[in-house]
Amino acid sequence: MQIMNRGLSKAFVDELKTIWKDEGVIIFFILVPLLYPLLYSWIYTNEVVREVPVAVVDLSHSDMSRDFIRKFDASPDTRIACYCNSLDEAKDAIGRQDAFGVIYFPTDFQTNIMRMEQSRVSVFCDMSFMLYYKAIFQTATAVAGDINSKIQIERAGNWTNREDEITTKPLDYEEVQSFNTTGGYGNFIIPGVLMLIIQQTLLLGIGLIGGTRRERMSRMPGINALHTTTALPEGNAATAGTDNNTSLQPAASTITDIIGRALCYFMIYTIMGAYIILAVPQMFGFTTLLKPVTTLCFMLPYLLACIFFSMTVACFIRYRENVILLVVFTSVPLLFISGVSWPQSAIPDFWQWFSYLFPSTFGIRGFVRMNTMGALLADIKPEYITLWIQAVVYFTTTCILYRRRAKA
C-alpha cells in the first residue's frame, strides 16, 4: 500500500510538472477555459434580438396604415428603417441589408375595411435570419390583432368595457413561461457550450501531452512514451530522455500511474469547472437554477468521464498538432448532436447512437435541465448513470491501452 501511495504521488507530481513545463498545455488547461467562456457569453449578452430594421411600402397613405406603422415602430423588437415607393425598391434595401423585412400596404387597404370587406397587410421576411423573421412576424401579428380588436369594438356597439373584451376575445389564453422566462438565446445555448468547453479543453491538453510523448518515443527508440512523465521542452529532445522515468511497470503500477495523472487533471478542472459553470453565468447575468449538491454530484462523473475519455483518445495521438485538428473538426458537430441546438428527436438514429460515445452528450443534456429547470439527480437519472458508466468504460480502455503500449 505504501509503495502504491508513493507511485500515486509520483505520477501526480510528475504530471503536474509536465503540464507546468509545456506552454501549449497551460494554454489549453488554463487560458482557454478562462477566456473562451467569456467570449461566448459576451456575444450572447443581449439575449434577444431588438430593433430589427424593416422597410415600409405604403400605397394606401391612409389613417389606418399610418396607425399600423406607428404601432409597429413602437415595438421594442422592430423599427422602421426606410420608406419605399415599390416592392422592388424594398427588395433592394433587403439586398443591401438596410432592412430584413417589408411591410406592404395595398392601395385599397383602408377602403376595403370601410366597406366591411377583408383587407390584407403583406409581410415579407428574410428567412435566412430566423430570429429576425420571428421578431418581424410576431410584431406584425400583434399589431394586426390590436387593430382588429379596435375595429370589432367600434362595430359592436357595446355599452361596457367588459362587453368589449368579450367581443374581441371570446376565447382568451394565458402564456406562462415555465423555464427560461427571459426568452433569451444566451440562457438557452450557453449552458451547453460551457459543458462542451470543459470536455474539449481537457481533450486538447491531454492530447498534447500524449502527442508529445509519442513524438519523443519515435525519436528515442526504447523509451516508453506512456510512462515518461517529465515534460520535454522543445529543442531539448536529444537530452531529455536521460532524465525521465522509463521503466516498464506491472499492471498495478500502470493503474496507479493512470489514477495519479487523472487526479492531477481532476484537481485542475475542479477549479476551472467551478469557474466555467458557476462564475461565468453570474458575470453576465444569465439565469441559473443550479443547486449546489446536485451540481457537485453531477460534475463528478462528468469530469471523470471526460478525463478518461481524453486519456483514451490521447493514446492514438501521434503528433501534438493532431489533437488540435480533431477538436476543431468535432466541436460544432458535438454541440449539434447533443440535442440542445437541434431537437434530439429530429437527429437521425445513426448520429444519436454515435453521440453516445461522448461524455459531452449526456453532460450537456443533464446540465441544461439542471440549469434552466432546476432538475435534481432523480430527474436526470439516465444521464447521471450513463456518465458513471462512461467513466468506468473509458478508465478500463485507458488501462488496456497503456498496458499494451508498455509491453510494446
Which domain CATH number covers 63?
Answer: 3.40.1710.10
Report the largest interatomic distance among the alpha carbons of the chain, rounded to a whole angstrom. Answer: 98
Q: Are residues 67 and 41 in the same domain?
A: no
Which of 134, 168, 202 corresponds to the end of one domain?
168
Asked whether the CA dihedral 335, 337, 338, 343 is positive or negative, the reply is positive
Quickly tell me which residue has 376575445 as its cell. Answer: 169
C-alpha cell at 107: 392601395
Confidence (pLDDT) at 223: 52
**175 found inside a domain:** no
Q: Are residues 359 and 274 in the same domain?
A: yes
**173 found inside a domain:** no
Residue 295 lies in domain: 2-45+182-407
**23 found inside a domain:** yes
Q: Are residues 41 and 56 in the same domain?
A: no
Cα gap 332→71, rounded to integer Å: 40
Confidence (pLDDT) at 236: 39
Which of 142, 168, 194 corresponds to the end of one domain?
168
**260 found inside a domain:** yes
How many residues appear in the chain? 408
Q: Are residues 191 and 295 in the same domain?
A: yes
Number of Cβ within a 10 Å radius of residue 395 = 21
Which of 168, 198, 231 corresponds to the end of one domain?
168
Q: In a structure prediction context, what are the per-residue pLDDT tens digits for the chain, which is 408 residues long?
A: 665 677 788 888 888 888 998 888 999 999 999 998 998 888 877 767 889 999 999 999 998 899 999 999 999 999 999 999 999 999 899 888 899 999 999 999 888 888 888 888 899 887 777 788 888 988 999 898 888 877 766 656 666 655 555 555 555 556 666 666 666 677 878 889 999 999 999 999 999 998 888 877 777 655 555 554 433 333 333 333 434 444 444 567 788 889 999 999 999 999 999 999 999 988 888 888 889 999 999 999 999 999 999 999 999 988 888 888 888 888 888 988 888 877 888 889 999 999 999 999 999 999 999 998 889 999 999 999 999 999 999 999 999 998 887 766
Q: Are residues 60 and 111 in the same domain?
A: yes
If you ran DSSP here, which 8-state letter would residue 158 be given?
A: -
Q: Are residues 109 and 213 in the same domain?
A: no
Q: Are residues 103 and 247 in the same domain?
A: no
Q: Are residues 88 and 192 in the same domain?
A: no
Backbone torsions φ then ψ of 150, nearest 5 degrees: -65, -40
**177 found inside a domain:** no
C-alpha cell at 112: 376595403
Contact, 340 vs 192, CB < 8 A? yes
Confidence (pLDDT) at 377: 93
Number of Cβ within a 10 Å radius of residue 122 = 12
**Whole-number Cα distances in Å, 223 to 227, 229, 241, 248, 386:** 8, 11, 8, 9, 37
**201 found inside a domain:** yes
CA 64, 67, 68 angle in degrees (round to 5)?
A: 90
Q: Are residues 88 and 41 in the same domain?
A: no
**331 found inside a domain:** yes
Q: Are residues 264 and 396 in the same domain?
A: yes
Q: Are residues 133 and 272 in the same domain?
A: no
Number of Cβ within a 10 Å radius of residue 206 = 29
**176 found inside a domain:** no
C-alpha cell at 234: 522543445
**Residue burial 100-118, b: 16+ Cβ < 10 Å; e: rest:** bbbbbbbebbbeebeeeee
Say if strands 122-125 and 101-105 run parallel, antiparallel, or are unpaired. antiparallel
Q: Are residues 103 and 136 in the same domain?
A: yes
What total of structural domains would you count in the chain? 2
Confidence (pLDDT) at 320: 84
**Helices 185-219 and 32-43, interaxial angle, to 10°?**
150
